[in-house]
Every structure is written in C-alpha cells, then in structure tokens.
Amino acid sequence: MGMREQIETAAARYPDRRSAIMPALLIAQKAHGHLPGPVLEEVADILGVERIWVYELATFYTLFHTEPVGRFHLQLCDNIACMLCGAERLLAHMETVLGIGKGGTTPDGLFTLSTVECLGACEMAPVMQVGDDYHGNLDAARLDALLGSLRAHAGRLATVDPASAPSPGE
C-alpha cells in the first residue's frame, strides 16, 4: 500500500480528518525516514487540512523527527529506573565506542545516539529502543554485541541490495 492509501485507511477510523494527522505522520516517517517540510506539506494535502496543523504536531511530539536520523536510532532510556541501573555508564560507553555525543550521528550515517524518557520497560532496565525493538538488561558487553550485530545487519543489506533494505527494526 502506498503512503496515500495508508493515510486514507487511517483517516477512515475517525469522524474528523484532523485526527488522522498523527497516524499520517507516523506513516510518512516510516516511508521517508524523517519529516522534512515537503513531506509535511504532502501529508497536509492528502488529508486536506491546514499545513500549520501538521507542522505543530510534527514539532510537538518527540517521536517525530523533522531532521534526518541515522540508519539505527539508538534511544537509550536514562529515566529513573534505568539511571539507577547504570544508564549513565552505558551512555558514556556508547559515546566512546561510536565517537559521537548525545544527539550526534556517526559520519557513516549508521547510528544516531539519543537519550529518551522512560520507555515503560523498567523491569529490564537499563533498556534501549532501536527501531521497533527494545533491548533490555544491558551492560557494556551486551551493548557491544548489539552494535556489532546492527553493523553486520547493515553490511549484509548493503552487499545484497541497498534498494530493498528495510527500515530499521524491520
């Protein structure tokens, strides 16, 4: 299903098309990786709503990215439970290993490193979300293994067919 069809399917769930802006932005972000201005305008046009309505949501909610993010978005929770279980050390470890700071993207575009508020998986703290997946009970060794497998995954995709590479987490 194309982006327009997916958005129309989502819009059919609501009596008011404005309600479909959030689902439409999630669909658009999945398709484009992030939400630059022209994509926001396309969403507004498909739904037939004011562009400002789309812009204001894209900039209010933290899961929407108006700037590009890396192929794998490493979202480390550093809220209370993860903090108590060592999230700070893990952040420092990743900053060293990846050579980037919080909010940065590696030069090869593979990883963006962020800290996020509570992911709601405190029973497996410290936890990090990458794409759709949660990775819990992390320590430095598990993080290294995870980063290695993500790199290998990206490498495999690159050698097979870059055009058919699924988006992160799929």
Partner 1 sequence: MFEPVLLKNIDQPDSHLLSTYEAGGGYRALAKVLREFTPDDVVELVKQSNLRGRGGAGFPTGMKWSFVPKRADKPKYLCCNADEGEPGTFKDRIIMERDPHQLIEGLAVSAYAIGAKTAYVYVRGEYVTAIRRLEQAIAEAQAKGYLGTGILGTDFAFAVHIHCGAGAYICGEETAMLESLEGRRAQPRLKPPFPAVAGLYASPTVINNVETLACVPHIVVRGADWFRNIGPAKSPGPKLYCLSGQVRKPGLYELPMGIPLRELVEEHAGGALPGRRIKAVIPGGVSAPVIPERGLDVGMDFDSLAAVGSMLGSAGVVVIDDTTCMVKVATRIVEFFHHESCGKCTPCREGLNWAVKVMRRIEAGEGEPGDLEQLDGLCKGIFGNTFCALGDGAAMGLRAALAHFRDEFAAHIEEHRCPFH
Which residues make up the interface to partner 1 (CB under 8 A)?
13-16, 18-23, 25-26, 49, 53, 56-57, 60-64, 78-81, 83-85, 116-125, 129, 132-134, 169
To partner 1, the closest distance from the beta carbon of 144 in angstroms equals: 23
For residue 127, with 0-12 CB atoms within 10 Å meaning exposed, 13-18 middle and 19 or more buried, which class applies?
Answer: buried
To partner 1, the closest distance from the beta carbon of 99 in angstroms equals: 26
Q: What are phi and psi of 6, to 5 degrees?
A: -60, -40
- DSSP summary character for residue 167: P
To partner 1, the closest distance from the beta carbon of 50 in angstroms equals: 10
For partner 1, the closer CB: 54 or 154: 54
To partner 1, the closest distance from the beta carbon of 7 in angstroms equals: 13
For partner 1, the closer CB: 134 or 153: 134
For partner 1, the closer CB: 105 or 114: 114
CB 44 within 8 A of CB 54: yes
Joined tokens for residue 152: 């290998």
For partner 1, the closer CB: 22 or 165: 22
CA–CA gap between residue 111 and residue 121 (Å, rounded): 22
To partner 1, the closest distance from the beta carbon of 35 in angstroms equals: 11
For partner 1, the closer CB: 26 or 157: 26
76 three-state secondary structure: strand
Q: What are phi and psi of 85, to 5 degrees?
A: -105, 15
According to DSSP, the residues that pair with 115 across neighbouring strands are 76
